[in-house]
Structure 1
Amino acid sequence: MESTGEGEGYLPLFETKQAKGQNVYRLFSLSRFVELWFGLYWVVTQSIRWNSVCRYTFKDRLSNRFEDKLPGVDIFVCTADATIEPPMMVINTVLSVMAYNYPSEKLSVYLSDDGGSDLTFYALLEASHFAKHWIPFCKNFNIEPRSPAAYFSTKGDPLLVDSKALSSIKKLYEEMEYRIETASKLGRIPEDIRIKHKGFSEWDSVSSPRDHQTILQVLIDRRNPSAVDSEGGSMPTLVYLAREKRPNHPHNFKAGAMNALIRVSSKISNEKIILNVDCDMYSNNSDTVRDSLCFFMDERKGHEIAFVQFPQCFINITKNDIYGGSLTVICEYGCPVEDVITGLSIHCRGWKSIYCNPTRKGFLGVAPATLAQTLVQHKRWAEGTSTAQSTAIHSAAVTNFTSNSWSFKGNEVGGSSQEMPRDFGLGQVSQSMTNHFSGELEIAQQGDRQYVELRNSRGYGSSTRQAHWSL
């Protein structure tokens, strides 16, 4: 007989089950939330487009007023891996900035090699010899661009360059390229080359790229009367630096490299204008320095400007651009990732920045060309954006933004700066090609210029990382 009570044999008269399709509904709700989020993001980013501006520089006026008073410029070029960043690519960037349309005696170029590679040092040594012919060639014929590889691969106006001079300089470049590529394929420097320069002896005691002493070599010293080009003109200072690394001490990635460059340059040239370029972004415009100085040296507004940013532009964008490498204008992404931490602090102290995008692009580089590289970049963008947002929120909570103090990660550094070294270079105007810094900042004084030191910082970077570091 069927039980009708509430005992062990009870059989319910109805049943409740989860309705079907709930997972689909949750997915639908999530998609609606994402649409609302992107709608809000679109509204917020419209503020960039509401009052768009274009800036034009007057370099002729700069020359008329200040040609005899142009300041010296320290140029920092950073590389980290001779495999990912081939030595030939590095020295093409170095040569492009050494040949700027600017007095050579007022330029100092520093190469930071975080990979500590003797191949990179050898390539720079070869470049120092080639530069004696390349710099006068560039200035005599006013060629663009001034990266040898880029120039020889383009079809310039043959009427502007003497054919004999062109064939001669191209032959010198190809011979240099052959020697460097041969050494790179061997993976070592031949003994007959090592004995020609005492700098190679520094690698005799190097056990690994992560465990070595400081290697500092001044390849061209502009203070030396013999440091002249093939026509007797002055040469820029050229310095190689591989900072000390030990396994038990964090080297803080690119932040540490920048600290080392600032310390070293303060003892050699100590200029108040700093140009920071990454090794895969060669200079495409020989007037970039003068464009920047038009902002810094303006009598009315120049004293308010802390740094000038140039956009990242790429030469290897495909027709359909399936990886989105061309989305590099400032209005496409709202967060300048690694610049946000340093740049935000500078802005909070009352300084201003300039976004300079001249008709002829200041720098050209290489965008991620494979899906794997693109995915790595997207991961870094997400990490950088999250860290930048959390840092900004935390800073707003503990610091009065109108005061002359900096506070990051709860570490407040007091003090104000009446004058700081000016910085310009590749502005991180999108989340493409980034190198993210996070950590504590400390103001330090060295000589007559202040600088910011990033401590406990981690840099996320590769051969495509961003070049600009504020201050």
Structure 2
Amino acid sequence: MAVAAASDRLFSTRQASGRLLYKLYFFIFLTGIISLLYFRLTHLLTTTHSYLWLVITLAEFWFGASWLFQQGFRWAPTFHTTYPEKLPASGGLPPVDVLVCTADADREPPALVANTLLSLMAYDYNANKLAYYISDDGGSELTFHAIYQASKFARDWLPFCRKYKVETPAPQVYFSKENAVAAGSGSRSFKQEYDVVKAKFEKMQLSIEKAGKMKKVPEETRREHKGFREWDSPVNPRNHQTILEVLLRGNGEDKDVEGNPMPLLVYVSREKRTGVPHHYKGGALNALNRVSSVMSNAPLVLNVDCDMHSNNSQSLLHAVCFFLDPKESHRIGYVQFPQSFGGITENDLYGNGVKRIYEIEFFGTNAHNGPMYAGTGSVHRRESLNGRKYDPNVPIKLEDKSVKGSRDWDVLESKAKALTGCKYEEGKPWGKDMGLVYGCAVEDVFTGLVFHSRGWESVFCSPERKAYLGLAPPNTNDTLIQHKRWSTGLLEVFLSDYCPWTHGVGRLKLGQILCYSFYTLWALWCLPMSVYGFVPALALVKGISLFPEVSNPWFIVFAFLGIASHLFSLGELMWAKGTMKSWWNETRMWMMKGTSSYIFSVTVIILKTLGISEPGFEITSKVIDEEALKRYKREIMEFAVPSPMFIPPATLSLLNAYSFLKALVTLVKTGLGGVDLLLLHLVISGYVTIISLPLYEAMFLRKDKGRMPTSITVYSVGLVLAILFLSSFFM
């Protein structure tokens, strides 16, 4: 194979500066961890409370192991720069099929789905080479109605975006009050056209909202498209026939208001029957994959969640740079864009901006054959998605086998429907050797691991302008539920046949194994965090020392590891353009997730292993009331619902506050002589107490609807009393 000249390359790669300094820090910190464990083990048999010493030693060992896994991300951060200006003319670009999933019209409002679709349709890309497929797993007439209204508005929206190079192609965002700058700039002709298109958008929004309030589509609208007949009889979201409708015919058959071709747009609600597994989002995407292979069969497949609207009209061009690169393209199975979020508060109250993952850690995966598949904002080579293994000895080109020429839409619809039956996959390799892999709640990471083990590489592409912006959970409960679902699924991946410690050996790079280990063992953070949250606090109450006194030289090791880890964490987030307060908020949420989400996820896995229950797929709500939104913007934590997820962190915070205050009172009475022995206990309990201030406020001071429910406070106080009572027998 001829070596491509540098001038022909469509992307370039560079590694982060300062790696030598980081590696020096790594070896110093690693020495500290080894020293701490040496101290623990050599004093295990000489301490009075050896069982407590052992428990906290095991917790520290797991902290150290997790830190070591995390170094896979930090060893060699690698950045890619793409050159879309070097791509061939639009006629030479590969076709792309875009798959969008929604599942619940109540939690994922139809207007939101329509906004995402319209933003994706506005790509700076040849419309004849784009096809859009919407999977509605809720089988909702309201969602179909929203997509139908979007298909009509798109005839005005797409030419407007092309003409004025709109870079915020989500109309709900573009026409919002927060983006009012668009209306006040430009020529008179722009303002006139802006007003016309905005009026049509508002009419579309009003139609969708009116139908949503009525829970019914007006009869005059239902007569406009034959697809509405599918709902002449009520459709049960869990038990219904396949609904498949072509809303826009591609291949130049449907035109926009300026006479330009529209892309293909297909609505799909696959068949569901009671008692037949449907495999949630993975099953929906596999169904769309099959439908798209019949109706358009593009060589590239992009999938986006319904709440992740496009924020960069050139995203596809950036992705295509990797698939058409003359040197590296043949090895690339998928390109992953970061998940980014709009509406995040200035200091990221719930840590949902996931900056540490997508603006720090994922760059490190580029040095180890690429990032995990994140389930949204991912462009796949259809061949890799359909089960092909990468063979370095077999040249692979991006073959265009897309459907061309005139199409008999009735025949295509009939063929596609046959591929979406609830029993179609029986006896076929879908979900195992083809498509997204079934078997856990995070089918995306699972699938990415399988793709990597088949030899494919992936690429993390993060253009300067964010490719997609989503909606993060705007309250504490949904944040904890989301992380419970993620950590449960990730632990399922680790316990599967594709465990990175077994299946990954010989198939993955060491750095990949470390990265996958860190994420798939997320849930087990609950063990050391719970130990460190409860044991030192209880020991403080009893006056038991589990750490070296200040005068002991070993104290320096503990102090160094605690301070260095926090300073490094803060420095990373500041490098990613975070704030000190956002780091503090992230740290608080990490503690809450560690003692709540992750405990529940481990419990779910244990129950599954025992055959008692199966983990479900929980969808976080994208709906928020006005009062809660005002509190969120003021960065006041929202609790409101009596969720069991709140009990462990509330209990932890109360226990540490009690321990810290009791110890301070004791020291005042007896003098400061005991500080030397118990300083680290005081620091840990004081740290937990200070970071938990919003919880105390929610439990005892606030009067608004977002306060902690009284039942949760009562349960937590009761648990603290029970723990203190029981500890008197064991400590």
Q: 1:144 to 1:26 in 2, by over 3 A?
A: farther
1:462 to 590, 604, 619: 619
- Tell me if structure 2 keeps the 8 A contact 1:218–1:238: yes
Q: 1:184 to 1:26 in 2, by over 3 A?
A: farther
User: Are positions 1:37 and 2:62 aligned together?
Assistant: yes
Measured on the aligned residues, the alpha-carbon RMSD in Å equals 2.8
1:70 to 93, 102, 118: 93
After superposition, where does 1:388-427 map in structure 2 within 5 Å? Answer: 388-391=493-496, 394=499, 397=502, 401-402=506-507
| Corresponding residue of 1:363 | 468
| Corresponding residue of 1:159 | 185
User: Are positions 1:193 and 2:221 aligned together?
Assistant: yes
Stretches of structure 2 that go unaligned for 5 or more consecutive residues are 1-46, 366-371, 375-441, 509-589, 594-600, 602-613, 623-731
SS in 2 for 1:205: coil
- Give the distance between the partners of 1:209 and 1:27, measured in 2 at CA: 52
Q: 1:26 to 1:367 in 2, by over 3 A?
A: farther
- Tell me if structure 1 keeps the 8 A contact 2:242–2:268: yes
1:276 to 295, 300, 303: 303
TM-score by length of 1: 0.77
- Give the distance between the partners of 1:98 and 1:181, measured in 2 at CA: 22
SS in 2 for 1:263: helix
Deviations 1:341-373 (A, max 9, x none): 211222122211000111101100011111110
Q: 1:397 to 1:458 in 2, by over 3 A?
A: same
Stretches of structure 1 that go unaligned for 5 or more consecutive residues are 1-20, 404-430, 437-456, 466-471
2:481 to 376, 380, 386: 376
User: Are positions 1:92 and 2:118 aligned together?
Assistant: no
- Give the distance between the partners of 2:208 and 2:444, measured in 1 at CA: 34
SS in 1 for 2:78: coil
| Corresponding residue of 2:458 | 353
Q: 1:391 to 1:160 in 2, by over 3 A?
A: farther
- Give the distance between the partners of 2:202 and 2:467, measured in 1 at CA: 26
Letter paired with 2:278: H
Letter paired with 1:259: N
| Corresponding residue of 2:240 | 212
Higher helix share: 2
TM-score by length of 2: 0.50
- Tell me if structure 2 keeps the 8 A contact 1:79–1:278: yes
Deviations 1:129-179 (A, max 9, x none): 100000000000001110001111214454346110111111100111111
2:491 to 386, 409, 412: 386
- Give the distance between the partners of 1:459 and 1:295, measured in 2 at CA: 36
- Tell me if structure 2 keeps the 8 A contact 1:317–1:367: yes
After superposition, where does 1:54-69 map in structure 2 within 5 Å? Answer: 54-62=79-87, 65=88, 67-69=90-92
Return 316-325 or 330-339, whichever deviates more: 330-339
- Tell me if structure 1 keeps the 8 A contact 2:73–2:361: no
Q: 1:397 to 1:313 in 2, by over 3 A?
A: closer
- Give the distance between the partners of 1:39 and 1:402, measured in 2 at CA: 25
Letter paired with 1:122: H
User: Are positions 1:223 and 2:227 aligned together?
Assistant: no
Letter paired with 1:350: G
- Give the distance between the partners of 1:135 and 1:399, measured in 2 at CA: 45
| Corresponding residue of 1:14 | none
Q: 1:61 to 1:241 in 2, by over 3 A?
A: same
- Give the distance between the partners of 2:85 and 2:244, measured in 1 at CA: 38
Q: 1:373 to 1:324 in 2, by over 3 A?
A: same
- Tell me if structure 2 keeps the 8 A contact 1:119–1:184: yes
User: In the TM superposition, what is the alpha-carbon distance from 1:206 to its structure 2 partner?
Assistant: 3.9
| Corresponding residue of 1:149 | 172
| Corresponding residue of 1:48 | 73
Q: 1:149 to 1:85 in 2, by over 3 A?
A: same
- Give the distance between the partners of 2:50 and 2:505, measured in 1 at CA: 45
Q: 1:26 to 1:144 in 2, by over 3 A?
A: farther
Letter paired with 1:462: I
Letter paired with 1:167: D
- Give the distance between the partners of 2:251 and 2:489, measured in 1 at CA: 42
Letter paired with 1:345: V
SS in 2 for 1:41: helix
User: Are positions 1:317 and 2:344 aligned together?
Assistant: yes
- Give the distance between the partners of 2:90 and 2:123, measured in 1 at CA: 15
Letter paired with 1:318: T
Higher strand share: 1
Deviations 1:45-92 (A, max 9, x none): 123222111111001111xx3543111110001000000000110000
- Tell me if structure 1 keeps the 8 A contact 2:151–2:248: yes
SS in 1 for 2:81: coil
| Corresponding residue of 1:244 | 271
- Tell me if structure 1 keeps the 8 A contact 2:323–2:330: yes
- Tell me if structure 2 keeps the 8 A contact 1:91–1:127: yes
Deviations 1:155-207 (A, max 9, x none): 44543461101111111001111111011000111222212221111112344
- Tell me if structure 2 keeps the 8 A contact 1:95–1:146: yes
User: In the TM superposition, what is the alpha-carbon distance from 1:254 to its structure 2 partner?
Assistant: 1.1
Letter paired with 1:159: S
Return 188-197 or 243-252, whichever deviates more: 188-197
- Give the distance between the partners of 2:146 and 2:312, measured in 1 at CA: 23
Letter paired with 2:73: I
- Give the distance between the partners of 1:243 and 1:155, measured in 2 at CA: 40
- Tell me if structure 1 keeps the 8 A contact 2:230–2:243: yes
| Corresponding residue of 1:170 | 198
- Tell me if structure 2 keeps the 8 A contact 1:285–1:362: yes
Q: 1:256 to 1:220 in 2, by over 3 A?
A: same
Deviations 1:11-39 (A, max 9, x none): xxxxxxxxxx99x9756653443233223
User: In the TM superposition, what is the alpha-carbon distance from 1:115 to its structure 2 partner?
Assistant: 0.3
- Give the distance between the partners of 2:56 and 2:443, measured in 1 at CA: 30
| Corresponding residue of 2:160 | 137
Q: 1:326 to 1:120 in 2, by over 3 A?
A: same
Letter paired with 1:49: R
Letter paired with 2:320: L
SS in 1 for 2:157: helix
Q: 1:251 to 1:263 in 2, by over 3 A?
A: same
Letter paired with 1:370: N
SS in 2 for 1:74: strand
User: Are positions 1:109 and 2:132 aligned together?
Assistant: yes
User: In the TM superposition, what is the alpha-carbon distance from 1:288 to its structure 2 partner?
Assistant: 0.6
SS in 2 for 1:228: coil
Letter paired with 2:348: D
Q: 1:168 to 1:48 in 2, by over 3 A?
A: same
SS in 2 for 1:54: strand
- Identity, % of aligned pairs? 44
- Tell me if structure 1 keeps the 8 A contact 2:238–2:274: yes
What is the aligned residue count? 391
User: In the TM superposition, what is the alpha-carbon distance from 1:307 to its structure 2 partner?
Assistant: 0.2
After superposition, where does 1:326-341 map in structure 2 within 5 Å? Answer: 326-328=353-355, 329-330=357-358, 331=360, 338-341=443-446
